[in-house]
Every structure is written in structure tokens, then in C-alpha cells.
Structure 1
Amino acid sequence: FLEAIGYYDPLAEPPALKIDMEKAAAWLKKGALPSNTVRHLLARAGVRAETP
């Protein structure tokens, strides 16, 4: 199952990053494992993703 919880546009000036914080936190709580790239983007947005 995939759910869009935000977007990142690195070509925008400045780069656009939008993340639904509640959805991100809910998925992490359920055990979702973000990739290193997603973990970095979540950190930029202020969501803490623990490394297993």
C-alpha cells in the first residue's frame, strides 16, 4: 500500500518540500521504514524518523 504524504520539488526556487506531518508520524508509528532519502527529507521537515 502506498499513500502520498507529501511532495518534494528540488527544481523549484527555493526547493519545495511539503509533508503531512500527522500522516508521516502515523506511518512511522505503524512501523514504516523510510529510505535514507526520505529519512533526510523528513528530518528537514521536522519529523524524527528513528533508524532501526
Structure 2
Amino acid sequence: MSVKIRLKRIGKKHRPIYHIVVADSRAPRDGKFIEKLGTYNPHTDPPSTILKIQKSVSWLMKGAQPTDTVKSIFSKKGVLLKKHLLEGVKKGAFTDEDANQKFHVWSKKNLFES
């Protein structure tokens, strides 16, 4: 079974809000899903995103493939960086504390930029 992390459209007509979900790639866009990871609202300025980072990283480590839009959201929220750091820990490039320190520095820097 191929698993995708993608957007599920909800909301009113012409005012969509999206749930970020993990779903079987054969399931319809707004149909059955495995787990909800967060929400994305493109109508606020800047677009608001609520995301479970740890669950998202867990699914990425298991091999779930994000769509292009979700990959962009993950990149802005630091999910892809966190996955990259955890893979480095797994390979022995650095320790878990170093990875957490690097992620903390990155998140502090991006918190002030946005």
C-alpha cells in the first residue's frame, strides 16, 4: 500500500480550509484517511498552519510521500529539517542532543523572521 501525506478539502464554497492527512494513495481526495496531522488555512495573512510535527516526522520516516503542496508546508514548518537531522542521528553523524540543538536554533531564527 502506497501512503501519501496530502490535503483534504473542507469548508464552505469558495472558502476552503484543508486538513493535512495521511491516506492511501488510492483513496479519493476527500475520502477515507488514516490519520489527521494538522490543518492549513490559506485565507489568513500569512496562511495559518497547525501541525503535529512529531507525528509528521514519524510518518515521513516510515516512508509516506508528501505531495508538493504538503512538502512546501513541511519545509516552512521545519518538518523536513527535523527528519533530516534524525536520519543523521540514525547514521551516527551526530548525537540526539546536537540534532535537537540545531533544530532549536533554526526554529528560533525562523520565529523572528515570520
After TM superposition, the structure 1 = structure 2 runs for residues 1-52 of structure 1, keeping only pairs within 5 Å, are: 1=23, 2-48=34-80
* Identity %, equivalent residues: 34
TM-fit CA distance, 1:14: 3.0
State the Cα RMSD in Å.
1.7
Normalized per residue, the structure richer in strand is: 2
Taking the aligned partners of 2:67 and 2:45, their CA distance within structure 1 comes to: 25
Q: How many residue pairs get matched? A: 50
- The structure with the largest alpha-carbon Rg is 2
Stretches (4+) displaced over 3 A: none
1:5-49, Cα deviation, whole Å (9 max, x unpaired): 011101023321111000000000110000011100000111116
Q: TM-score normalized by structure 2?
A: 0.40
More relative contact order, 1 or 2 (CA 8 Å, 6+ apart): 1
Q: TM-score normalized by structure 1?
A: 0.82
Normalized per residue, the structure richer in helix is: 2
Q: Provide structure 1 residue ranges, at least 5 long, that are not aligned to the other structure.
A: none
Q: Provide structure 2 residue ranges, at least 5 long, that are not aligned to the other structure.
A: 1-22, 24-33, 85-114
